[in-house]
Amino acid sequence: MSRSAHPAGPRHGDVLPEGHYLAPPSDLNALDPKVWSRTVARDASGVATVGGITVTALAAEFGTPAYVVDEADFRARARAWHRAFGAEGVAADVYYAGKAFLSKAVVRWLQEEGLSLDVCSPGELAVALAGGMPPERIALHGNNKSVAELEQAVKAGVGHIVVDSTAEIGRLAEIAERQGVRQPVLIRVTVGVEAHTHEFIATAHEDQKFGFSLAQGSAARAVRDVLARPGLELRGLHSHIGSQIFDTAAFEVAAHRVVALLAEIRDEYGVELPEIDLGGGLGIAYTSEDDPREPAEIATALAEIVRRECAAKRLATPRLSVEPGRAIVGPTAFTLYQVGTVKPLPGLRTYVSVDGGMSDNIRTALYDADYSVALVSRTSEAEPMLVRVVGKHCESGDIVVRDAFLPADLTPGDLIAVPATGAYCRSMASNYNHALRPPVLAVAQGTARVIVRRETEEDLLRLDIG
List the catalytic residues.
394
**Residue 424 interacts with ligand LLP (CB under 6 A)?**
yes
Minimum CB distance to ligand LLP smaller for 239 or for 379? 239
Asked if residue 300 binds ligand LLP (CB under 6 A), the reply is no
Instruction: Check residue 98 for interaction with ligand LLP (CB under 6 A).
Output: no
Q: How far is the CB of 137 from ligand LLP (least distance, A)?
A: 15
Rounded least distance, CB 320 to ligand LLP, Å: 14
Amino acid code (one letter) for 357: G
Three-state SS string over 320-365 comes to EEECCCHHHHHHHEEEEEEEEEEEEECCCEEEEEECCCCCCCCHHH
Using N-to-C axis directions, what is the helix angle for 166-179 and 147-156, rounded to 10°? Answer: 50
Question: For residue 13, which of 382, 405, 327, 364 has the smallest C-alpha distance?
Answer: 405
Count the helices and strands in the chain (H runs, E runs): 12, 26
Q: Residue from 98, 159, 236, 324 that binds ligand LLP (CB under 6 A)?
A: 324
Give me the least distance between CB of 330 and ligand LLP, in Å please: 8
Q: Which is nearer to ligand LLP, 330 or 384 (CB)?
A: 330
Q: Does 282 bind ligand LLP (CB under 6 A)?
A: yes
Site for ligand LLP contains 253 (CB under 6 A): no
Distance of CA 389 to the CA centre of its chain: 22
Q: Which is nearer to ligand LLP, 275 or 414 (CB)?
A: 275
How near is the Cβ of 278 to ligand LLP at its closest, in Å?
9
* Contacts with 289 (C-beta within 8 Å, 6 or more apart), sequence order: 1, 2
Burial annotation 368-395 (CB, 10 A radius, 16+ → b, else e): ebbbbbbbbbbbbeeebbbbbbbbbbee
- Residue 160 interacts with ligand LLP (CB under 6 A): yes or no: no
Which positions from 425 through 464 interact with ligand LLP, judged by CB under 6 A? Answer: none
Binding to ligand LLP (CB under 6 A): which residues in 115-134? Answer: 118
Residue 97 CA to residue 326 CA, distance in Å, equals 8
Q: Are 197 and 244 in contact (CB under 8 A)?
A: yes
Among 142, 325, 331, 391, binds ligand LLP (CB under 6 A): 325
Query: Exposed, middle or buried, 446 (CB in 10 Å: 0-12/13-18/19+)?
Result: exposed
236 binds ligand LLP (CB under 6 A): no
Compare residues 327 and 444 and give the one whose CB is closer to ligand LLP: 327
Nearer to ligand LLP by Cβ, of 283 and 391: the residue is 283
> Within 10 A of 114 (CB to CB), how many other CB atoms are there?
15
Contacts for 347 with CB less than 8 Å, ≥ 6 apart: none
Question: Rounded distance, CA 295 to CA 278, Å?
Answer: 14
User: Nearer Cβ to ligand LLP, position 28 or 94?
Assistant: 94
Binding status of residue 81 toward ligand LLP by CB under 6 A: no
Q: Which of 363, 393, 402, 426 binds ligand LLP (CB under 6 A)?
A: 363
Name the one range near ligand LLP by CB under 6 A: 130-138, 142-150, 318-326, 401-409.
318-326
Do 234 and 228 meet the contact criterion of CB atoms below 8 Å apart? no
Stretch that binds ligand LLP, among 276-284, 342-350, 381-389, 444-452 (CB under 6 A): 276-284
Considering only 77, 137, 326, 426, the residue that binds ligand LLP (CB under 6 A) is 326
CB-nearer residue toward ligand LLP: 192 or 279: 279
Query: Binding to ligand LLP by residue 141, rule CB under 6 A?
Result: yes
**Which span (12-20, 148-156, 226-234, 319-327) binds ligand LLP, by CB under 6 A?**
319-327
Residues at the contact surface with ligand LLP, assessed by CB under 6 A? 97, 99-100, 118, 141, 240, 243, 279-282, 323-327, 363, 423-424
